[in-house]
Structure 1
Amino acid sequence: MKTRVIFVGIGGATCSGKTTLAKHLRKILPGSVIVHQDDFAPPQELIPMHPEYNVQDWDSAEGAIDWPRMIRTLREVKRTGIIPPEHYSHDHLNEQRDVPIEQDTFRRWHETFTRIQDEREKEGEKIIWVLVDGFLLFWHPEVIELLDVRMFLRVPHDVLKKRRNERHGYHTAEGSLWRDPPQYWEQIVWPAYVAAHSRMVEGGDVEHGQPNGAVPDLILIEGLEMKVGAMVERVCARLEEQ
């Protein structure tokens, strides 16, 4: 049986809701898996120091991700449909607020994709959905090229800041807990987000600009204008076309 691996990229700033959306899709799409970009952060001792503020910079695109390792892993998953056994995810260590969706939405789309899966398998094709979520997903051109569907969740600055401040911290791959130093959001997180994403929207306006084509076929989702269930509806409708 022929295997077709479909990469669904879900990008967005820290605390934008991308992982929540990805986990709802994983429950809906038969046999789907999630690859979290956070799992490709370098070892804690290799995270660079910010040249001006003298704290570790976990957010600037150049140093926050081990890009060769991420690209190598994605290519392997694309080829085999299997996450390499040596790949370790620490996502389960991080707190995540449960944001449920309507049961009717879940049931309807789960039935739809189960039917599609059955139909394709009768035709000799097995579909494997790989949900790739990340806060820097659309920065590296090789990662962008690997994605078959590209979604970006946009949430306003003040909401992101509030959500970030309400978090107790982030677990590293080594299991330690990283807590933001004072002014980390203002000095590092937000500037790094703007730097990584301004090139893909009109006028470089990450808050209001529309996609400008730098990331091909990018689907922009305004995170405050839609409930999670509505996001799931929109994304599933797009995935049904694959």
Structure 2
Amino acid sequence: MLDPNQKAVVIGISGCSSSGKTTLARLLRDIFPNTFILHEDDFYKPEAEIPMKDGLTNWDCPEALNIPDMTSALEHIRATGELPATFDSKEDINSIGPCPITTDFINTIKCRVADWLQPSSPGHQILKSPQKPLKICILDGFLLYSPPPLLPATLLSQMDIKLFLLVSKAKALQRREARDGYVTLEGFWKDPPGYVDKIVWPEYVRAHEWMFEDGDVEKARLRGDVRERLGVLVNSKKEGEETKMDRDFGETLEWAVESIMRELERLVLGKEEEDGQKEGEKEREDEKEKKREKEAIALNSFAMKKKWAAGQRERNARELLIKKAEEQQQQQQK
């Protein structure tokens, strides 16, 4: 359950660079009310402090980020429901290209959420309550869920819902190379040749191999305890024995929206626990009903046996009377 004093719920969206995180975050901001975005990229250190790897600036490692500042910002957001007053986003300036899904599809999803927000539905109590409306902060970042020592547990604890987007190396490379570059504190960054192969993908593997069987992020066979360990929800989809890496973005949006609504109901309303209690009560009632049925059958069986015994005694008595009458008749004839 959510802390009752919390003013905003933080939803993390993570995955490899160019997996669709920012596109998804901006769509969700438009779909859900009272929603704003915090970008992990706004917490990069100055370029002079970014580590080097193989002669290249390594923007994709934990050491490139100011983790304490990001944690403090999340603590402020959860406590107040607002971005820090001094916060200034550079990431919002960056272009993410055309939207991969149609306006009609987005409107369909918006209608679904609008129904969930109606006064008679759970969403209204969560996000529209006049007494205590909850805000949503979407944290968009390439490095959010790795367990210690890569990331401190204090950062992980600031995220209430954790979504993770899968992407193949080929698709990540294609999308990243299509970008013009990135706005930074000092100006503008454009990937040098081979940057994805030498920096982006190896760092992604290092930070996320714990999530996959045998550490193989390409086959994407998720470990069974991913959700149990850190509560991470993954947009995986099985196709036969294989996991589909590059899902249709419409499917990803639907998955994210449904996951958020379900998790908000669980965190704020305790719906999963309540449903579990109701299910437990139903099971107990079913057991009682079965017991009553068995008792009724037993009672009926006993009553039938008793009735049969009484009938048998009557038959025996009649036979005895007949036998005695016959004996008397025989004696009289003699």
Judging by fraction of residues, say which structure has more strand. Answer: 1
CA contact (8 A) 1:28 1:113 kept: no
Matches within 5 A, 1:51-66: 53-61=54-62, 63-66=63-66
CA drift of 1:211 comes to 3.9
CA contact (8 A) 2:14 2:144 kept: yes
Match of 2:254 among 199, 210, 233: 233
SS at match of 1:219: strand
CA contact (8 A) 2:60 2:199 kept: yes
1:104 partner letter = T
When normalised by structure 1's length, the TM-score is: 0.89
Give me the whole-angstrom Cα distance separating, in 2, the residues matched to 1:98 and 1:7. Answer: 26
SS at match of 2:235: strand
> Which residue matches 1:136?
143
SS at match of 1:6: strand
Deviations 1:64-96 (A, max 9, x none): 211111111111111111100111111232121
SS at match of 2:135: strand
> Which residue matches 1:168?
180
Matches within 5 A, 1:172-183: 172-174=184-186, 176-183=187-194
Give me the whole-angstrom Cα distance separating, in 1, the residues matched to 2:55 and 2:249. Answer: 38
Q: Which of 1 and 2 has greater Rg? A: 2
2:205 partner letter = V
Identical columns (%)? 30
Match of 2:13 among 10, 14, 19: 10
Residue 129 to residue 155, structure 1, CA distance change in 2 (3 Å): same
Residue 57 to residue 3, structure 1, CA distance change in 2 (3 Å): closer
Larger relative contact order (Cα-Cα within 8 Å, sequence gap ≥ 6): 1
Give me the whole-angstrom Cα distance separating, in 2, the residues matched to 1:230 and 1:220. Answer: 12
Give me the whole-angstrom Cα distance separating, in 2, the residues matched to 1:2 and 1:196. Answer: 33
Identify unmatched segments of 5+ residues in structure 2: 237-243, 265-334
Establish whether residue 203 from structure 1 lines up as the match of residue 210 from structure 2.
no
Residue 122 to residue 220, structure 1, CA distance change in 2 (3 Å): closer
CA contact (8 A) 1:7 1:132 kept: yes
CA contact (8 A) 1:11 1:18 kept: yes
Give me the whole-angstrom Cα distance separating, in 2, the residues matched to 1:75 and 1:172. Answer: 24
CA contact (8 A) 2:90 2:183 kept: yes
> Which residue matches 1:108?
112
Judging by fraction of residues, say which structure has more helix. Answer: 2
How many pairs does the alignment contain?
238
Over 6 Å off, 4+ runs: none
CA contact (8 A) 1:40 1:67 kept: yes
- Provide the alpha-carbon RMSD of the alignment: 2.2
1:107 partner letter = C
Identify unmatched segments of 5+ residues in structure 1: none
Give me the whole-angstrom Cα distance separating, in 2, the residues matched to 1:19 and 1:110. Answer: 23
> Which residue matches 2:280?
none
CA contact (8 A) 2:7 2:77 kept: no
Establish whether residue 221 from structure 1 lines up as the match of residue 235 from structure 2.
yes
Establish whether residue 158 from structure 1 lines up as the match of residue 170 from structure 2.
yes
CA drift of 1:107 comes to 2.5
